[in-house]
Homo-oligomer: A and B are copies of this chain.
Amino acid sequence: MSSIQLTPTGKLRHFLTIEGLPRDMLVSILDTAESLTSVKDRSIKKVPLLRGKTVANLFFEPSTRTRTTFELAAKRLSADVLNIAMSTSATTKGESLLDTLRNLEAMHVDMFVVRHAQSGAAHFIAQQVAPHVSIVNAGDGRHAHPTQAMLDVFTIRRHKPDFGGLTVAIVGDIRHSRVARSQIHALNTLLTGEVRVIAPQTLLPADVETLGVKVFHSLDEGLRDVDVIIMLRLQRERMQGGRLPSEHEYYQQYGMTTERLAIAKPDAMIMHPGPINRGVEMSSSVADSPQSVILEQVSHGIAIRMAVMSMAMQHNQPDKAPQAAT
């Protein structure tokens, strides 16, 4: 999986999943994002890194929110952006996905940002595209949402810079969450501490044991000594077959309240990928508390996406001589 994401010389070509990416690459993304966060504070919030490049947002699944952050990131890099809602496009005229891709390539689109309801869609596309094109996965089925995971670890690193010995708990519907899956890979690669998942058995994936996490079914137990709490969104639209009794009951057992938050470390950060269901995943008092960094996450999402896009776009640039100084 990782080989397709990197060039032979180890540069980022596609960004599809955290899984298999070396630690150095993740750190490099975080560092690039760090250098780009200042762009938002300039009076002119633009850098010319992608000037004259064309980025196409291929959203097979609608998502105003994610599309907007990618669009903003691309525009702040000075790229031209095409928004293509795939359901209404040529595929309805009987054109296959592959033909659509070949056509966009022929129009000299440089990067596709892909969201798709099917796991593996971004990989499939990455395997097919021309050498000059890069793919960024903006969420595929239950599989991965790697820019979300990177903005999460970026947010953690900004508050707890050394990552050393941190305990991070992910709470909620792990089973249906591409976000959780990517977070676990990112945290395990970068963290020296412990990753916990807290969920009822029905909301855990079958392979949870292989993910390198400690499983808790009780929120109160799982929160003990935790530095970072990541609440997942209850993906009602992805759930079938009544795994959950009701939102009310869920909140009773797994909703974050001020009282429960007090079980974690006093300086524990509370995170959520958004949009929040207030009163389901957490109370409003928690969402708006000083420990909440939820809006910081949104803000850092732009910087992370700028970092990933600009790094991937350089994959076909000639290497700069690395020992030029000596």
A-to-B contact residues, CB < 8 Å: 40, 42-46, 51-54, 62, 64-65, 68-69, 71-72, 75-76, 80, 82, 84, 88-90, 93-96, 99-100, 102-108, 274-278, 295-299, 301-302
Contacts and interface: CB of A to CB of B under 8 A. Distances in A.
Nearest to A56: B68
A69 to B, nearest CB: 6
A179 to B, nearest CB: 14
Contacts of A90: 64-65, 275
B108 A89 contact: no
B40 A103 contact: no
A52 B78 CA distance: 10
Given A90-B275, A93-B275, A95-B275, A43 B52 contact: yes
A296 B107 CA distance: 9
A90 B100 CA distance: 28
A297 B76 CA distance: 32
A106 B51 CA distance: 24
Contacts of A100: 275
Given A99-B276, A275-B90, A275-B99, A107 B46 contact: no
Contacts of A72: 54, 80, 82, 107-108
Contacts of A71: 82
A54 B65 contact: no
A52 B44 contact: yes
Contacts of A76: 80
Residue among A44, A65, A84 having the largest count of chain B Cβ atoms under 10 Å: A65
25 contacts: A40-B108, A44-B51, A45-B52, A54-B72, A54-B75, A64-B89, A65-B90, A68-B82, A69-B107, A71-B82, A72-B107, A76-B80, A93-B275, A95-B274, A95-B276, A99-B274, A99-B275, A102-B295, A102-B298, A105-B295, A106-B296, A107-B301, A107-B302, A108-B299, A108-B302
